[in-house]
Copies of this chain bind each other. A is one copy, B any other.
Amino acid sequence: MDKIKVVLFGFGTIGTGVAKILFNHADRITQATGKTVELIKICDKDITTRRDIELPSGVLCSDAESIFGDPEITIGIELMGGLEPARTFVLRLLENGKDVVTANKALIAQHGNELFNTAQKFNRTIAFEAAVCGGIPILSALSTALQANTLQSINAIVNGTSNYILSQMESGKTSYRDAVSQAQKLGYAEANPAMDVDGTDAVQKLAILAQLGFGANVSWKNIPRLGIESIESIDFRYAKELGYRIKLLAVAERSSGGLELHVSPTLVKGDNPLARVRDAFNAVRVVGDSVGSVFFQGLGAGQLPTASAIVGDVIDTILGRTAITFRTLHLWDSAKTSVAIKSPNEFFGKSYLRFSVQDQPGVMHEISGVLGNRGISIASMIQHEPENKTTEPAVLILTTHEAREGDLLEAIIQLQQLPAVLGKVVRLRVQN
């Protein structure tokens, strides 16, 4: 029986999960591929910390250089995370004739074109199902089964950490700060959770979804993002009054004028399946012109769900399915962009705005004047009396009808300059 020799870079949580499946369930890969897979090297700069798996001696190593040139290795799995040395390692693997499987969304979002080009040049493949939504086979669905569709939209919860934090806050008993600590304790959030809560992780994943779903070639840095840091318990209360829940949504939506791409905390109607995605789950709702709405939900992170996607990609790579899909997707070819990206100022949508205001006559008149001057009309309003009128400002919540993003952003700047408006205006989107 053919032996496929595989090497793994990065022996952290996910790497340990992949090693568990490859060592403990080798029969599955054999059954799926008709070949035996041997994980011959696991390379990490830290080879002393104990992981919860026993490795055959000689597998663990810290010298990556000795691996790239080994002609027996045909597949390299990159699970180091981050941009460097991951980028260099992936390039070295491809240049040395090895196919690559990676879970590194930052790498794909930042250096995808370069890596895909290199893979194409050396007639190799890159598979990255695990980079977006862990165990949910969403990239596979977009790249294969849904190809008969022109997509209308992708709405997705792609960051489990922030979804966990929002779920905790929604339960009503947890502040943002406490929810972040809990997420850290449970291992969902890093010591520095900035990239999760500020939307960076989500825009990187959205850029990948938009490329596979719409042929959009867009830098993740150009996708507007809002994080969840400014959300307070009060927002969940008001959202509920209005019939919504709050989710950090990554959105790609085709409209006249091109594709709208954004990540922001969003009020989602209670009957939308995305509204019910709780804790660290991820979910994706795809709308295609033939298939209608298809909804996927699963664990977007974690050792074994992510390893499931990685090993699935290893199987596809061995069988040659990855080669077919990679060849037909033309990801290296930025000229193949099939959709115009809409300028953020030209987006149209509804918003939720929260103000702290001085409780004095005429405030509402001033605020509605600023909005009205830009053609932004108010859909609903809730004013909240402070518990202690002398020490706390009043809170005012507005939702708007559909408005042009550029007008809204200008209005917010002007609103923040009104003497009666205290501090920053918190703005969430409202799903149409």
Contacts and interface: CB of A to CB of B under 8 A. Distances in A.
Interface of A: 17, 21, 25, 28-29, 31-34, 129, 135-137, 140-141, 144-150, 273, 276, 288-299, 302, 304-305, 307-312, 314-316, 319-321, 324-325, 328, 338
Given A137-B141, A141-B137, A144-B316, A299 B292 contact: yes
7 shortest A-B CB distances, which residue pairs? Answer: A137-B145, A148-B311, A290-B308, A135-B291, A294-B298, A291-B308, A295-B297
A162 to B, nearest CB: 19
A360 to B, nearest CB: 46
A146 B321 contact: no
A271 to B, nearest CB: 9
Number of copies: 2
A292 B324 contact: no
B309 A298 contact: no
B291 A144 contact: no
A328 B140 contact: no
A328 B276 contact: no
A13 B432 CA distance: 31
Contact of A28 (B28, B34, B129, B150): B150
Contacts of A293: 298-299
A308 B149 contact: yes
Nearest to A288: B308
A28 B338 CA distance: 11
Query: In this complex, which of A17, A144, A150, A316 has the most chain B Cβ atoms within 10 angstroms of its Cβ?
Result: A144
Given A292-B299, A297-B295, A144 B135 contact: no
A129 to B, nearest CB: 7
A290 B307 contact: yes
B135 A292 contact: yes
A29 B292 contact: no
Contacts of A144: 137, 140, 312, 315-316, 321
A327 to B, nearest CB: 9
15 contacts: A21-B290, A25-B148, A25-B150, A28-B150, A29-B148, A140-B141, A140-B145, A147-B312, A148-B312, A273-B276, A290-B308, A290-B311, A292-B298, A295-B296, A319-B328
Nearest to A283: B295
Query: In this complex, which of A290, A298, A302, A338 has the most chain B Cβ atoms within 10 angstroms of its Cβ?
Result: A290
Contact of A320 (B33, B34, B304, B324): B324
A147 B308 CA distance: 8
B273 A147 contact: no
Nearest to A285: B297
A295 B21 CA distance: 22
Contacts of A135: 290-292, 294
Nearest to A140: B145
Given A294-B296, A299-B292, A324 B319 contact: yes
Query: In this complex, which of A34, A304, A310, A311 has the most chain B Cβ atoms within 10 angstroms of its Cβ?
Result: A304
